[in-house]
Structure 1
Amino acid sequence: MTLTSGDFRVYMRQLAGWVWKEQSAAHQFGLSLQEETITEVLLLEMARKLSPLGLSVRMFSKAQEGGRVRKTKGVAPGGVEAEAEEVVIEAEGADWEWFFEGPGGCMASFRVQAKKLYKDNPIKDGRYGGFKPGDRQIQDLIDRAMGSNPIYVLYNHPDVRNSSLFGPSRQPDFFGRDCWGCAVTTAQFMKHATSEKLDAIKPGMVPWHRFFSIGQPCRPKGAMNEIAKSAALPDGEEAQTFIPAKRRPDWVDMLSEGATGLTDLLVERQLQGVAHIDFSKIREV
């Protein structure tokens, strides 16, 4: 069986829609899905559903221990009060490294940090928690990339006052607001954004079905060029450009061999996990 490029874009939009809807559903119960959870579920779904169709996904993540427990209260649908405990992980190494292989020899490595759109109560303009423009954390992501493309994957939902920003636009390939459930921007754009608010970040996002779509030339290259046009860069700073990979990372073979030693490698490189996503057997149309 084969998976065409068009099929893949549809599937990525479906995953984005799941993130959009499930975050909103969690909010109704006073809960909040964490970035680590969303990332691992997305990769698991891709591995489970797409492997028979020509896409190979292998992933490995280290177990995180510790963190603090936060009790949350909310009102569920129907007016029923609900209370839950949420473990908030506070540990180093929240980045992922994703290695993509596409048709025609397109290879790229991405150092990925996920951020979610926060829901405030009462509803306010959306903001992305856990980062501030110009913060050292962003520069650390860039410095740790070491030949990979440093990017942010943003998990969005409709439960903010300015969710109309996810409405129809002139951007191509718009398929409803929930296709913005998973979006991508570059570390450079985040570094120079004027604030952590949605209205400041939205101009530099592209839906992830467009960023990670398959085809020639390497599609992330075009998406990153598009994002660069929206970045407010200081004089003399060049735009972040796509870095193709010349070879597979060493951990790809370690995945195939049963992940021996991978935990030590993740600790050494301050990574939460790695994922090898191989499009090379997908038929392009």
Structure 2
Amino acid sequence: MSFEVLILPTSWFRNPKTDLSNLRYLINKGYNKPRKTFGIIETLRIISTDSFFDDLAVLPNDQLNFFLLLGTEEKFQNLENNGIYRDFKDEDVQNAFGCDIPKEYRSLFPLSDLPNAKIKIVDSDFKLDDSYLKRVIASTGLRSYDKVSKPGEKDVILTTYCSFLSHAASDFLDFLISNCILNPKIFKALYSEPLSDFKTIVIHADCIIEHNLIDYYTGKCKFFKSNKPDISIASAAGGYKQVIASRNFNIGFLYRRIDV
């Protein structure tokens, strides 16, 4: 077995004793990669643990489920034995790619093994310590979508979609849809509603167009461009959702419809 999947459910986020520090480091490391590549966004994705929910636009009554793809301890021990150490806590944008799996070691994590991954929904008192953080390969979050759903439709929005292994993000998303979202037992555990109440699950996404993500989502992740108009953000207008930018940019909207 090459992979494990941890699900951090809404109950974990609602526990006031939950330490979000390592999750913040993880998210910032993932988002620092487009910050370095494109030079548009100047702020960290999560400014501090105190602003965690505000920075992700999570409201008090929202559902937030977070999925982590982990490599096994044995595989990462192999990396460390070869001098490969990952430091997610280094938030310097110049070191944005420091946690990516080097090309010569990608064979340790064959994505063809992903269907065999063991899935675990953590308890509300689970500690996301360094032993888990150093093994993260990809992450995906799904939070409540701020629109009224149609009858028989469940709407969620994709967030914190990050990968540290080439091609892992899109494969992991497909895995989550097939093995978690469309799994009646897991769906009920995450959403407190039976999957049978729905005919369709719609995953929405918004992205910075200048990060070349429209083609990525439509080409790799089976999304479609929404009819919702793009939003133009002026860098001098005080930021967008507390984001400071070096120049103007545009937000595009997409969706993926899943039949239940």
Sort the TM-score into its range (normalised by shorter chain).
0.3 to 0.5
What's the TM-score once normalised by structure 2's chain length? 0.32
What's the TM-score once normalised by structure 1's chain length? 0.30
